[in-house]
């Protein structure tokens, strides 16, 4: 029996090209874990990683038909407005005679499995939630010609007859999983040292995928260090832990990380990680830096206590400020996950956000400034935010299978500020992606970078002040005109230095 595990091509979104939400949706090693789980059970497995630059669905289709697997397992990633191309790919495979079983797994299909199975004929099954053991049992049943109906975590067309959940109960000890297969060891290699998150922020799909709620399960320090040693022996020196919550909860989480750092320090690696602000302290940061920590992404989300409560962050701005200060004390300049605009924001919340960013010196570098000032809460299916806004009648669903949505702002003035400031920031970010632009992101910060950076900060203050003073014209034509004026001004400002 031949099995193909596929990481399909991604197409960059025009709207979501810079969103931090792409990280958990894309960089999760799921294809590698699926291939490793099947290979451990002695199946003939081909791991085809087509997610990198230069890949195309046409070439992937040709490769898939040539390999002609009995079972095609696809880590199905949501790539915004371009996602329908993937389902066209499945239909084209069937049209061209592919008869293998098509299974989907991952965040996106797990959270909308009923809608996919109801409307997408080419798809045979979906592994809901933690997928490794589900895929193994699926392969074994297909090989032996057994019924698939009783496989825990497997959703079939027959599940549309009832409303029962199909999520597989996650394993308590993630050490049981084989180390993921990898298509390349070049550059920075990603690792997953834990699964899930002990919090359940209203915007995040990670807890919903693993447990329909908060759940964090860490691999043992010994298990993680064993994987790193194996990769290090092959010449890898740069790593990135893509765990949404690397450290984990409480005293046990802290001890685990301190023990892990003791084990990897002798390996002389460099690494990055992601964490919640309240999980950092002096002891942990010293150990992390001594063991090779170079970069850190911290989920701050807001400078407004009210908004932090509304998105179920279970933190306060003071904790974030302290964590930022601690990072700098230990020589780490943290990157920040931040939601400038939340559907329930007031203009006062925006003022608090801007004050927080300024007080913590987070608007001093153009790339970071342009990102932090434009992020709006994304509402994805399966999250508690999606459910809440749907009940309130404020959810505007979009995207294939209604996986993505926008929530109506409670304050029209906030919507106005968001529309204008976002288009200004996106104009800057698109210029920064142009290698011929004087503000190309690989160039060192210079006078023009600082000029544009200062302009975005001034614009933020101006728009918020105008909203506070009632100087807001909400007519769509006026908003579009203001957007165009902002784009023209920014492009003209940059062009003068070209």
pLDDT single digits (tens) 279-327: 999 999 999 999 999 999 999 999 999 999 999 999 999 999 999 999 9
Q: What is the mean pLDDT of the chain?
A: 95
Q: Which residues of 452-465 are buried (b: 16+ CB within 10 A; e: fewer)?
A: bbebbbebbeebbe
Determine the pLDDT at residue 336. 95
Determine the pLDDT at residue 161. 84
Query: What stretch of H or E contains 481?
Result: helix 476-495
Q: Is the CB of residue 253 less than 8 Å from the CB of residue 247?
A: yes
In angstroms, the CA 195 to CA 184 distance is 23
**Helix then strand then coil, % of the chain, to nearest 5:** 50, 15, 35
Whether 233 has a pLDDT exceeding 70, the answer reads yes
Q: Is the CB of residue 455 less than 8 Å from the CB of residue 412?
A: no
Rg of the Cα trace of the chain?
23
| Predicted confidence (pLDDT) per residue in 318-368, tens digit | 999 999 999 999 999 999 999 999 999 999 999 999 999 999 999 999 999
| Predicted confidence (pLDDT) per residue in 439-450, tens digit | 999 988 789 999
pLDDT above 70 coverage of the chain, percent: 98
Residue 162: pLDDT band (50, 70, 90) is confident
Name the pairing type of β-strands 335-338 and 293-301: parallel
In angstroms, the CA 212 to CA 133 distance is 19
Across residues 416-421, what is the average pLDDT?
99
Q: Is the CB of residue 408 less than 8 Å from the CB of residue 394?
A: yes
Determine the pLDDT at residue 15. 82
Q: How far is CA 29 from CA 116, 125, 190, 242, 252, in A?
A: 23, 21, 8, 9, 25
In angstroms, the CA 135 to CA 161 distance is 23
Determine the pLDDT at residue 396. 97
In angstroms, the CA 69 to CA 443 distance is 46
Q: How far is CA 300 from CA 353, 414, 486, in A?
A: 11, 20, 28
In angstroms, the CA 144 to CA 257 distance is 43
Report the interhelical angle of 317-329 vs 282-291 (nearest 10°). 40
Name the 3-class secondary structure at 335: strand
Determine the pLDDT at residue 14. 86
Residue 284 burial (10 A CB sphere; 0-12, 13-18, 19+): buried
Determine the pLDDT at residue 24. 54
Give the residue with greater pLDDT, 459 vs 166. 459
Residue 159: pLDDT band (50, 70, 90) is confident
Report the interhelical angle of 221-233 vs 250-264 (nearest 10°). 30
In angstroms, the CA 270 to CA 136 distance is 34
| Predicted confidence (pLDDT) per residue in 82-123, tens digit | 999 999 999 999 999 999 999 999 999 999 999 999 999 999
pTM of the model: 0.96
Determine the pLDDT at residue 27. 61
Which residues, 6+ apart, have CB-to-CB distance to 228 below 8 Å?
191, 239, 264, 267, 269
Across residues 249-258, what is the average pLDDT?
96
Residue 229 burial (10 A CB sphere; 0-12, 13-18, 19+): middle
Residue 132: pLDDT band (50, 70, 90) is very high
Residue 25: pLDDT band (50, 70, 90) is low
Determine the pLDDT at residue 22. 64
Across residues 203-222, what is the average pLDDT?
89
| Predicted confidence (pLDDT) per residue in 386-405, tens digit | 999 999 999 999 999 999 99
Determine the pLDDT at residue 28. 78
Q: Is the CB of residue 25 less than 8 Å from the CB of residue 107?
A: yes
Q: Which domains does the chain have, with CATH numbers?
A: 2-161 (3.40.50.2300), 184-338 (3.20.20.70), 339-498 (no CATH)
Question: Poorest-confidence range of 167-171, 210-214, 235-239, 241-245?
Answer: 210-214
Q: How far is CA 390 from CA 12, 171, 203, 408, 445, in A?
A: 28, 32, 13, 10, 43
- How many other β-carbons are positioned within 10 Å of the β-carbon of residue 359? 12
Among 263, 184, 281, which Cα is nearest to 227's?
Answer: 263
């Amino acid at each position: 029996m031949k099995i193909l595990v596929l990481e399909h091509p991604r197409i960059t979104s025009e709207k979501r090209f810079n969103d931090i939400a792409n990280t958990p949706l894309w960089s999760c090693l799921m294809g590698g874990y699926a291939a490793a789980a099947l290979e451990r059970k002695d199946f003939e497995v081909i791991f085809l990683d087509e997610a990198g630059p230069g890949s195309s669905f046409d070439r992937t289709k040709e490769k898939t038909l040539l390999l002609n697997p009995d079972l095609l397992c696809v880590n199905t990633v949501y790539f915004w407005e371009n996602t329908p191309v993937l389902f066209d790919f499945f239909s084209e495979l069937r049209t061209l005679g592919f008869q293998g079983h098509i299974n989907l797994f991952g965040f996106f299909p797990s959270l909308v499995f009923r809608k996919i199975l109801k409307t997408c004929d080419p798809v045979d099954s979906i592994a809901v939630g933690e997928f490794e053991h589900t895929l193994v049992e699926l392969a074994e049943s297909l090989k032996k010609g057994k019924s698939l109906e009783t496989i825990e975590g497997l959703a079939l067309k027959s599940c549309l007859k009832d409303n029962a959940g199909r999520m597989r109960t996650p394993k308590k000890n993630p050490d049981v999983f084989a180390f993921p297969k990898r298509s390349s060891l070049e550059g920075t290699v990603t690792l997953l040292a834990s699964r899930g998150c002990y919090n359940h922020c209203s915007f995040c799909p990670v807890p919903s995928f693993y447990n329909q709620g908060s759940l964090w399960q860490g691999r043992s320090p010994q298990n993680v260090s064993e994987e790193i040693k194996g990769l290090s022996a092959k010449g890898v020196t740069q790593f990135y832990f893509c765990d949404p919550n690397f450290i984990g909860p409480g005293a046990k989480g802290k001890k685990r990380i301190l023990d892990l750092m003791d084990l990897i320090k002798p390996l002389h690696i460099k690494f990055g990680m992601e964490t919640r602000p309240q999980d950092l302290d002096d002891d942990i940061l010293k150990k992390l830096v001594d063991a090779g920590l170079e970069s850190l992404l911290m989920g701050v989300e807001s400078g407004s206590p009210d908004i932090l409560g509304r998105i179920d962050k279970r933190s306060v701005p003071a904790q974030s400020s302290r964590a930022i200060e601690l990072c700098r004390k230990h020589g780490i300049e943290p990157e920040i996950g931040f939601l400038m605009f939340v559907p329930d924001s007031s203009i006062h919340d925006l003022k608090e956000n801007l004050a927080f960013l300024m007080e913590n010196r987070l608007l001093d570098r153009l790339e970071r400034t342009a990102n932090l000032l434009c992020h709006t809460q994304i509402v994805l299916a399966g999250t508690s935010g999606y459910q809440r806004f749907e009940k309130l009648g404020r959810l505007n669903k979009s995207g294939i299978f209604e996986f993505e949505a926008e929530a109506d702002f409670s304050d029209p003035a906030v919507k106005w500020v968001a529309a204008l400031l976002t288009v200004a920031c996106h104009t800057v970010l698109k210029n920064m992606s142009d290698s011929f632009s004087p503000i190309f992101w690989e160039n060192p910060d210079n006078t023009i970078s600082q000029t544009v950076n200062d302009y975005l900060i001034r614009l933020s203050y101006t728009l918020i002040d105008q909203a506070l003073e009632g100087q807001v014209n909400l007519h769509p034509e006026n908003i579009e005109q203001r957007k165009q004026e902002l784009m023209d001004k920014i492009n003209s400002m940059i062009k003068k230095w070209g």
